[in-house]
Amino acid sequence: MTDHSASEARTFLPPYLLERVASSGSAHQRECARQTLLADDRFRARAGSVALPQGSARRGEPARYVHSAEQRQVLPGRLVRSEGQGESGEPAVDEAYRGLGATYRLFWEVYERHSIDDDGMALLATVHYGRDYENAFWDGRQMVFGDGDGELFNRFTIAPDIIAHELTHGVIQHEAALAYAGQSGALNESLCDVFGSLVRQRELGQSVDEADWLIGKGLFTERVAGRALRSMARPGTAYDDPLLGRDPQPDHMEAFVVTEADHGGVHINSGIPNHAFHLVAMALGGHAWERAGRIWYDTLVDRRLSHDSDFVTFASLTHDNAERRYGAASREATAVREGWRRVGVLP
């Protein structure tokens, strides 16, 4: 296990979305987007500076701490709810608390992982960060959530998969620490979407057929022409809005986007491994966290997964892990190989 606790902040909203709003939105929208981009840049420079509170010594029990920044750009802010305390009546606080718990439960109850570092690390979150701050991020030690601008974006605690997505950045940080650039960065983002979706599906008790496979559903206000930020089932179709533009995610290597923006397209090209996971999960049926998710988790913690792994390396490892766990001639191994073939990663 590798501790890269000083890694830079991982934001949920990709910069290209905020840049569009900053250049073409209303006066209020432009100002909110510009201030968010400035805040994100500052945090990339000084991520992971908050001292963590006491974690959990008992395996199977989380240690959650939710703070409020009270619309200031301070961390961690004022403690407003900690492990075992009842509902606060404050939506963002209670959503954050529940989302931290749901993420812990997936990793513990399904994969026997005791928190982010598998050693009971405290789950620390700050809500109401800044004024009209339009993002959520993992800063190397804790979660941070903005309230959105109320015009384009709702509060960032509104979807449990957003919370689980950002916490999974922490899990990756303590395992392969996939470099946040190019294909390894897109794998980093994709893994966060995968486990974010699994947390939401498990909380709702959904089978693969019942799940909508959307990431960030509820984040957009009614003013935005879009269902969510991303679709794992149909990358490139989550939104098509006059201001925000069209979802740029490809679903096949033939449409892989070569760009220097967004750390080499980490939020864009993640659509390809996302779609591969969706295809595998659909082929296997049932609950996605049980078999498809198990294979992906085995690969996430596989010592052979290096920080600069590309799509082919990751795909090959998932296939090998499927064979190891279920057998070379198993449905699972066949589904994994076929899923990656259909998105053009494996021949």
Q: Cα separation of 120 and 147, whole Å?
A: 28
Number of residues assigned to the chain: 347
Set 267, 275, 287, 319: catalytic member: 267
**Is 267 labeled as catalytic in the residue annotation?**
yes
Q: Two tokens at 296?
A: 């992906």
The HSE-up count of residue 31 (CA atoms within 13 Å, CB side) is: 7
Name every residue whose Cβ is closer than 8 Å to that of residue 232 and which is 6 or more positions away in sequence. 193, 194, 197, 213, 214, 215, 274, 275, 277, 278
Largest separation between any pair of C-alpha atoms in the chain: 59
Set 8, 134, 166, 323: catalytic member: 166
Q: How far is CA 108 from CA 48, 60, 115, 142, in A?
A: 24, 6, 7, 19
Looking at beta carbons, which pairs linking 228-232 to residues 24 or more positions away fall under 8 Å?
Answer: 229/12, 229/13, 230/193, 230/270, 230/271, 230/274, 232/193, 232/194, 232/197, 232/274, 232/275, 232/277, 232/278
Q: What count of other Cβ atoms lies within 10 Å of the Cβ of residue 212?
A: 16
Q: What count of other Cβ atoms lies within 10 Å of the Cβ of residue 290?
A: 14
Q: Cα separation of 161 and 167, whole Å?
A: 10
Q: Two tokens at 153?
A: 């974006």
Annotated catalytic residues are: 166, 267
